[in-house]
A and B are shown apart, each in its own frame.
Chain A
Amino acid sequence: AQSVTQLGSHVSVSEGALVLLRCNYSSSVPPYLFWYVQYPNQGLQLLLKYTSAATLVKGINGFEAEFKKSETSFHLTKPSAHMRDAAEYFCAVRGTSYGKLTFGQGTILTVHP
């Protein structure tokens, strides 16, 4: 079984500031971890994923995430926020083939001018 907890349902940053969205997971098997972004009234788009290769994963739009097994975390960061980053972000975990992708509750990112 697996689960994901996203700390903070809302995160607000100023344009140009660091973005940090937190994700902790629980999994009984080695996890595969994903971050998806959802813009208003749109579908889910993959930002990046961890698949047991490099622990620091770079994704699209300047985002990256680091897998830390000791902390069971996969936090998403971006050095400098842009207005277009305003969206909802979902962390997800998957354990096995044919297994479901289990999502966290999402974090809404607001970027202020």
Chain B
Amino acid sequence: DTAVSQTPKYLVTQMGNDKSIKCEQNLGHDTMYWYKQDSKKFLKIMFSYNNKELIINETVPNRFSPKSPDKAHLNLHINSLELGDSAVYFCASSFDNNSGNTIYFGEGSWLTVV
């Protein structure tokens, strides 16, 4: 069973379009994250939700809007896509009662904006 699953895995779209990436975890975790991996493989957190409440919101353009309908889901909607949005987006989850808890990552969604 996949612990953290995200769809789609690959997405090619044109500039200006709006797209969403969905994420679901079946681990019972209370915290979910979105990370972005750029073309140089650098990983940086974008958002974090704990029990559906936004906890971390890094300096991300407001074209990116996360939505958490429940603890098991955290979707990422991107408006007016730009070339620079091309990256791999990773969803992740963890229990957040201890900083030593493992953060589990999904397989990634490869977004290409043309």
- A residues near B (Cβ < 8 Å) are 32, 34, 36, 38, 41-46, 49, 51-52, 88, 90, 94-103, 105-106
Contacts and interface: CB of A to CB of B under 8 A. Distances in A.
Given A32-B99, A51-B100, A98 B106 contact: no
A103 B43 contact: yes
9 contacts: A32-B99, A44-B92, A44-B105, A51-B98, A52-B100, A94-B100, A103-B44, A105-B40, A105-B42
A99 B99 contact: yes
B12 interface: no
Interface of B: 4, 31, 33, 40-45, 48, 50, 55-56, 58, 90, 92, 96-100, 102-108, 110
B103 A101 contact: yes
A42 B107 contact: yes
B56 A98 contact: yes
Contacts of A44: 43, 90, 92, 105
A34 B110 CA distance: 24
